[in-house]
Amino acid sequence: MTDSEREEELLFGRMALRAGFITEEQLKEALKKQEESPVHRRLGDILVELGYMTRGQVALVMRAQGRQLDKTDKRLRLPRRDVLFGTIAVKLGLATKEQINRALRRQAELRAQGKEVPLGKILVEEGVLTLSQVRTLLAHQRKSLMVCPQCGKRYNVLNAVPGKKVKCPNCGASLEEPLAIGTAEVNGAIKEEVEPGKVRIGGYVVLEEISRGWKLIYKAKDRSGQIVALKAVLDERVSLPQEVARFRQEADALKRLSHPNIARILDVFEFEGRHFLVTEFVQGRTLRQVLTEGHLTPSEAVRITKAVADALHHAHQKGVYHRDMKPESIIVEDGTGRVVLTDFGLAVCQEQTMRLTRKGFAAGTAAYMAPEAAGSAIDAYDATSDIYSLGCVLFEMLTGRPPFYGDSPLEIMVRKMNEDAPSVMDYNATVPQKLAAIVAKCLARKKELRYRSALELKEALIDLEREQEWRQKVTTLLKRSLCVATSVGSAAAIVYALYATIAYLLGEV
């Protein structure tokens, strides 16, 4: 263990102690076990193994530790371009903040020895990134780095907004993208923000930024005043010609979808090298926001799942799969309660993400992906894959948690491929047994054991509702009959009341 790694481990222990997660005796025991180990093991892993901390607590301390190391490590006098490179890597999910911090400290140690080594090279040597991923990050960084053509100053532009000119703080000229990053230092950072009504993307006036990442989403207004959502889904500057062609084909297929539970695709256009989808803007809360208040009742979870299954069936009939089902993709409209499915993924976008990042598995959120979606064969995805993802969402609606957890997306997918999903009744005993069986069928590891179509799933949920209504009806009539019979006070009257209730429900009277 190097000195810097030992310092990190001790800092982790002190922060866990200060947070009240462990006692001094527990910390000493874990440090002793770490010292005795023939191979280097993280202190957090040892504390989890001893039962003194949970994985969630370790993650919380590690995030706080990353922030603390940024503030306290005096050796990190680094070029801002390296810090920006690391920030982009974390933002795109290619590295963790802890991995970047470790590489930055290694770079600082080498600099102290008179060696200048690019951060990307260190991350490749440590097995964090591939050369292809480094090239992808440099391409993203080149877009973030801008230079003034008049005074020559260079700036890291954060949250750049398409269609908005960035002014040089020094001379006021419009900044331009450099042809290469070069080795020169940057002179500062500029954080761009959307000014409502002052930026146009194509024929749309941007009102606010909704999200940012691989996919930019803006709330905007079209020429008629209609509020819409703008989604940047493909960047032509890093796309192959065949990917652009396939994007247009798939986008045309999305435009043909017309269903009350699917956000309508209104337009597709290209602007400054990026391809945008224009969709219906739904005013409401995402299912993720709803779930922050706790799990749902079985009846509400079934209502939402029926609506989404109906939407999926319509899309599947048109040859379109969702590919990225998760609570963030489902919106419950304010006022009406209408359930709306959004953010259909495109196969070409998944393939491009795999090509650019070399992740080895398709884009998507691991907690909700079907086991077969982990492979690099996009063609393996079908209707049953969407059904599996919807089953994960239904599981979370009923329990407040997804069926599988793990320390990394890869660990989650490995568990999905090798383990059966737990029963929802393990986490919520009030869930009806037949509903638990429906969830289990959605989450079957083998595709052939799941519902064959989203329509079949919807019909199973309708049958469940009818059975629940029938049981409620039996209970109500029985209570009413017994109440009347008891008031008469005759055993014969009570028996007759039971017979009359059952006969009525069976349609005999």
Per-residue pLDDT reduced to its tens digit, 114-167: 787 888 888 888 878 776 677 667 666 555 667 787 777 777 665 566 666 778
Paired strand residues for 201:
204
Output the pTM of the full model.
0.61
CB 247, CB 275: distance < 8 Å:
yes
Q: Domain segments of the chain: what residues?
A: 3-72, 80-191, 199-280, 284-461, 472-505
* DSSP type of residue 178: -
Exposure letters 354-375 (e unless 16+ CB within 10 A, then b): bbbbebebbbbbbbbbbbbbbe
What span, in angstroms and rounded, lies between the C-alpha atoms of 87 and 95?
9
Q: First-to-last CA distance in the chain?
A: 83
Residues 6+ positions from 329 with CB-CB distance below 8 Å: 286, 287, 322, 341, 342, 343
What span, in angstroms and rounded, lies between the C-alpha atoms of 413 and 341?
24
Q: What's the fold here for domain 284-461?
A: Transferase(Phosphotransferase); domain 1 (1.10.510)
| Rounded average pLDDT over 367-385 | 77
Residue found under tokens 């009102």? 207
Q: Is the pLDDT of residue 301 over 50?
A: yes
Residue 449, amino acid: L
Residue in 369, 397, 428 with CA at minimum distance from that of residue 288: 397
Mean pLDDT for the chain overall:
77
CB 272, CB 199: distance < 8 Å:
no
| Rounded average pLDDT over 197-208 | 84
Q: Is the pLDDT of residue 191 over 60?
A: no
φ/ψ of 502, rounded to 5, equals -65, -40
- pLDDT in the model for residue 364: 53
- pLDDT in the model for residue 293: 84
Q: Does 386 qualify as catalytic in the annotation?
A: no
Bridge-based pairing state of the strands 216-221 and 284-286 = unpaired
3-state secondary structure 337-367: CCEEECCCCCHHHHHHHHHHHCCCCCCCCHH
| Rounded average pLDDT over 229-253 | 67
Q: Is the pLDDT of residue 80 over 70?
A: no
What span, in angstroms and rounded, lies between the C-alpha atoms of 398 and 270?
41
- pLDDT in the model for residue 305: 97
Q: At what angle do helices 454-488 and 383-399 cross, to 10 degrees?
A: 40
Residue 412, amino acid: I
3-state secondary structure 66-86: HHHHHHHCCCCCCCHHHHHHH
- The tokens describing 495, both together, are 């028996």
> Averaging pLDDT over each range in 11-20, 63-72, 246-255, 348-357, which range is the top one?
11-20
Q: Which residue has the higher pLDDT, 71 or 481?
A: 481
Bridge-based pairing state of the strands 330-333 and 284-286 = antiparallel
Q: Percentage of residues in the chain with pLDDT exceeding 70?
A: 69
Q: Which residue has the higher pLDDT, 477 or 357?
A: 477
- pLDDT in the model for residue 446: 92
- pLDDT in the model for residue 86: 80
SS3 assignment, position 113: coil
Q: Is the pLDDT of residue 316 over 50?
A: yes
Q: Which of 324, 343, 379, 426 is catalytic?
A: 324
- pLDDT in the model for residue 495: 62
**What's the CATH class of domain 199-280?**
alpha beta
- The tokens describing 302, both together, are 């079934």
State which H helix or E strand residue 218 sits in. Answer: strand 216-221
SS3 assignment, position 89: helix
